[in-house]
Chain A
Amino acid sequence: MNALAVEQLVKVYGRGRRTVRAVDGVSFSVAPGELVGLLGANGAGKTTIIKIICGLLLPTTGTAEVYGAPSAHKSVARHVAAVLEGSRNVYWRLSVEENLRFFAGLVGQSPRAARAHIRELVSLFGLREKRGTVANKLSQGMKQKLAIACALVRNTPVLLLDEPTLGLDVETSYEVRGLILELAEREGRTVLLSSHDMGVVEAVCRRVIIVACGKVVTDDSVDSLLSLFRTRALRVALSGPLEEKAAARLREEFPGVRTSGDHGAPALEVELEVGQTLYQLLDVLRSCGVGVEEVARVEPNLEQVFLRVVRGEA
């Protein structure tokens, strides 16, 4: 049985002329233990999909199921925990430990039964020193970690994370993505992660679903998407400055060539067309008297893949 199964999901807001089709026929499924990224621009429908799966939003048509249970049913809460919109999920007047105790209690764990798990989470998230601190007095990063810990303390097999690194500095974002990965691998939880941060999705997820204008435009593994967009783009580091005459010759032979870097360490970026080879490029450079320091293939990242997919370039 799939952990998550979404079938022909449609969500329409408003009526008449003011109708907005936030989700338009979305279907996908997630197997138990899978780590899936949900990517999309603002307003693409990611949060709406996540909220329908949690049962917080009712779909116009279509179904969303969690371990076979319809998402609108309260039993779904036994399988799903969610972190929605960053840190907007904790009680700011309660301390770290009180928040964790409250959310454990909400799913029926006695304070004694939850104690060991809470201690473990506090330590894992680096909140031990702050366990008695009121959430309001924590930094943004700490609040975010607490929000994730509060979702984890529920001990559900499925975790939905909506923008878990929103507003975090680079260091904390790295820390949070490491924690998500560790938890998913160690505890075998199913994770659906929605984010603008391509770095997070690329680092954490093996599969990615790209949503644009409420529709799924791509659903594939991260590796497969990256290889699909692997181009014949090269970066050539030059040993000296590029004279105007040589640059003109290059532009003539390789129309897409771009120069980058400062005068001290100039470089070329070129995407070879069909029929062109690296040797031809090196021949042109040698004939112009330009030395080459290094040649490297330009690897696409998920951000570039995402942009090309949503722009319809693939």
Chain B
Amino acid sequence: MKLYLWSGWAIICRHLIELKRYAFNTLSSLATVYLVFLLMFFGAQILAGGEAMFGDSLEGLIVGFLVWTLSIIAYSELSWSLMREAQLGTLEQLYMSPAGFRWVIVCWAGGAFLMSLVFSVPVLFLMMATTGRYLRLDILSLLPLLLLTVSGVFGIGLAVAGLALVFKRIQAAFQILQFVFVAFLFAPSEPVWAKALPLNWGTELIGRVMVHEVRLTDIPGTEIAVLLANAVGWFGAGFLLFSLLERVARRRGLLGHY
């Protein structure tokens, strides 16, 4: 138990140290994300001639942008960092953890989630201040929903990291996927097939909490179960693919080389 506790703590601490040490990098990433939102918001206003074009969907846009920000940060923090560790040679050291590499990955995802929250919360406040639409922040309802929503993205991140271990140069696919997330986010959530997409159903439920001021306990159990199944499914599939590809990398001797 001590082993799992302290190894997890060490991994999360490392994330936070790097976040703090490279504060300028952190702030500039934050500014870039906010700038993209400003371009979208004011760009659409100029083209359509006023805020009226958003109507009720403005809150939806804020929620969608929040989830997208959270997702791309968590996704890159997991998959990009795994690739970088392989490049630096530290990935092999992480493999030699007595708690097992799977535990390392779980803690890593935890660290990435924390990091994405640190980024997303200021961006959310800036978006609300810019648009003048203040959404409800029920932390207790939001945190589990955000975690479950982002879990699907972690699954995709793991799959991409596994592919990078074996095939190395996959930066293009990595970047394209970030925009595929937008399609997942803004696809209609009513059809049954949409509930199987990552991000989509979770964003719908987050929207209910933030926009319609619904509590987590008021959401029907079946709807939470769908989100849970979605999160477990995507994370599990990504984890499985990563484990398979990691085995291939270990067989071919690709773990420490990039």
Q: A residues touching B (Cβ–Cβ < 8 Å)?
A: 11, 13, 48, 51, 54-58, 74-75, 77-78, 80-82, 84-85, 88-94, 98, 101-110, 134, 150
Q: Are B10 and A56 in contact, with the CB atoms below 8 A?
A: no
Q: B residues touching A (Cβ–Cβ < 8 Å)?
A: 2-7, 9-11, 13-14, 17-18, 21-22, 88-90, 92-101, 104, 247, 250-253, 255-256
Q: Are B13 and A55 in contact, with the CB atoms below 8 A?
A: no
Q: Are A108 and B252 in contact, with the CB atoms below 8 A?
A: no
Q: Are A51 and B96 in contact, with the CB atoms below 8 A?
A: no
Q: Are B96 and A105 in contact, with the CB atoms below 8 A?
A: no
Q: Are B250 and A57 in contact, with the CB atoms below 8 A?
A: yes
Q: Are B252 and A84 in contact, with the CB atoms below 8 A?
A: no
B-side contacts of A89, CB under 8 Å:
89-90, 92-93
CA distance A57 to B21 in the complex (A): 34
When A and B form their complex, which 5 residue pairs have the shortest distance between CB atoms, in order from nearest? A105-B10, A88-B89, A108-B3, A77-B98, A74-B100
CA distance A150 to B9 in the complex (A): 17
Q: Are A74 and B98 in contact, with the CB atoms below 8 A?
A: yes
A-side contacts of B6, CB under 8 Å:
105, 108-110
A13 CB contact (under 8 Å) in B22, B98, B250, B252: B252
A110 CB contact (under 8 Å) in B2, B17, B95: B2
Q: Is the interface of A mostly helix, strand, loop or mixed?
A: mixed
B96 CB contact (under 8 Å) in A13, A77, A98: A77
A-side contacts of B93, CB under 8 Å:
89, 103, 106, 150
CA distance A106 to B14 in the complex (A): 11
Who on chain B is nearest to A22 by CB? B253
CA distance A42 to B121 in the complex (A): 52
14 A–B pairs (Cβ distance < 8 Å), ordered by A: A13-B252, A48-B253, A51-B256, A56-B92, A56-B255, A58-B247, A58-B250, A74-B100, A89-B90, A89-B92, A102-B10, A103-B93, A106-B94, A110-B6
Q: Known interface pairs A56-B250, A57-B250, A105-B13. Does A92 touch B88 (Cβ–Cβ under 8 Å)?
A: yes
Q: Are A85 and B89 in contact, with the CB atoms below 8 A?
A: yes
A108 CB contact (under 8 Å) in B88, B99, B101, B251: B99
A-side contacts of B22, CB under 8 Å:
93
B-side contacts of A84, CB under 8 Å:
89, 92, 256
Q: Known interface pairs A93-B22, A106-B10. Does A81 touch B252 (Cβ–Cβ under 8 Å)?
A: no
CA distance A94 to B21 in the complex (A): 9
Q: Are A107 and B7 in contact, with the CB atoms below 8 A?
A: yes
Known: A74-B97, A105-B7. 19 other contacts (CB 8 A): A13-B253, A48-B253, A54-B92, A56-B95, A74-B99, A75-B98, A77-B96, A84-B92, A88-B90, A89-B92, A89-B93, A93-B21, A94-B14, A94-B17, A94-B18, A105-B9, A107-B97, A109-B6, A150-B93
Who on chain A is nearest to B248 by CB? A58
A-side contacts of B250, CB under 8 Å:
56-58
A-side contacts of B92, CB under 8 Å:
51, 54, 56, 82, 84, 89
Q: Known interface pairs A56-B255, A58-B251. Does A88 touch B88 (Cβ–Cβ under 8 Å)?
A: yes
Q: Are B3 and A107 in contact, with the CB atoms below 8 A?
A: yes
